[in-house]
Structure 1
Amino acid sequence: MLHLRPVGEQDQAFLLRVYASTRADEIAQTGWSEAQAEAFVRMQFAAQQQHYRSHEADADFAIIDIDGVPAGRLYVARRPERIHVIDIAILPPWRGRGHATALLRQLLAEGERAALPVSIHVEIHNRAQRLYARLGFQEVSSAGLYRLMEWRAGAAPTPQP
């Protein structure tokens, strides 16, 4: 069973592990020692958390529980003009099983009910773009390493090869 619960102070070590899993492929290519990689991940995680908390203070920060086991995170900002997915990440053992799809579909249904678009920033090399496109997200802008993708009720999904 998929369940969301608010992030608590006791979740910081888990959230660090989730963050590390999102950077593992990139870090594996650096040739860093385990200590160097860990220091980098801790620094980047702290910076990300600080950024999210200072720029998205009123957002919903949730732990994704699957069958009572913490499996990921979902951060969502609900704004008057849109629902913005700040971050969604699931640990590798639970990836590819439809959990992110189910959560995103819930947000799309919420957007449809509220007549609001749903948006997400995604790194240009992130494989999750295929998932977002299948769900009907379309690229609306690009800056540096990120694309802004947006879903609007009634918009046709972009065909994918």
Structure 2
Amino acid sequence: MRPVTPGDDGFLFTLYASTRAQELAAWGWNPAQQEIFLRTQYQAQARHYAALYAPEGHALIEVDGAPVGRQWLVRTQAETLLVDMALLPSHRGQGLGTRLLCAIQEEAARARVPVRLNVTRDNPALRLYTRHGFLPVPGSDPASPYLELHWRAPEGDSGTGPG
């Protein structure tokens, strides 16, 4: 992990585009239309995150010195918010996301705070989160495409990690 710098923007766009590839393939747009849409959406997300969240929690995930993903955490005295975690397709499904999520849970358990996140209902990562004990926040809007999840270490867990 290392802090994100302005020079990482090209990689971050590529990463963002990779998270939307399956969705866009279904729309039948040509590559130029996809590029315009993706750039617009990426810039909107970047502005939104920058307006809401401190940059200190924004990190690139590297393997052997090469960027393979990003993680954005907001740590407060009350909770840890997982704003975003994404990996390139070539690094999904190999346990890296699990290791990252376990590290977040262990840190939150030591700090005695819950972890909160939002995920789209059709995101394959939803299985990862539920497997690691994340539960829907009561009162979540069933019509929303997003599901708000939370996790709290069991009483007496001092950060040894989820089973």
Q: Structures share a fold, TM > 0.5?
A: yes
- Cα deviation digits, residues 135-156 of structure 1 (max 9, x gap): 111111434111111110018x
Gaps of 5+ in 2: 156-163
Q: CA deviation at 1:59?
A: 4.8
**1:8 equivalent among 5, 9, 23:** 5
What is the rounded CA distance, in whole Å, between the counterparts of 2:42 and 2:99 in structure 1? 26
The equivalent residue for 2:159 is none
Contact 1:61 1:75 in 2 (8 A): yes
- Cα deviation digits, residues 44-92 of structure 1 (max 9, x gap): 0000000000011355110000121110010101122100100000000
The equivalent residue for 1:150 is 150
Gaps of 5+ in 1: 156-161
Q: Does 1:82 align with 2:79?
A: yes
Aligned residue pairs: how many?
A: 152
The equivalent residue for 1:23 is 20
- Cα deviation digits, residues 79-135 of structure 1 (max 9, x gap): 221001000000001111111111111110011000000111000111111100111
Contact 1:59 1:78 in 2 (8 A): no
User: Which structure's residues are more often strand, by fraction?
Assistant: 1
Q: Does 1:42 align with 2:39?
A: yes
What is the rounded CA distance, in whole Å, between the counterparts of 2:76 and 2:20 in structure 1? 28
Identity, % of aligned positions: 43
Q: Which amino acid aligns with 2:68?
A: A
Q: Secondary structure of the equivalent of 1:16?
A: helix
Q: Which amino acid aligns with 2:137?
A: V
Q: Which amino acid aligns with 1:112?
A: A
Q: Does 1:73 align with 2:70?
A: yes
What is the rounded CA distance, in whole Å, between the counterparts of 1:57 and 1:65 in structure 2? 21
After TM superposition, the score normalised by the length of structure 2 is: 0.90
Q: Which amino acid aligns with 1:152?
A: R
The equivalent residue for 1:107 is 104
Q: Does 1:140 align with 2:137?
A: yes
The equivalent residue for 2:158 is none
After superposition, the CA RMSD in angstroms is: 1.2
After TM superposition, the score normalised by the length of structure 1 is: 0.91
Q: Which amino acid aligns with 1:12?
A: D
Q: Which amino acid aligns with 2:117?
A: I
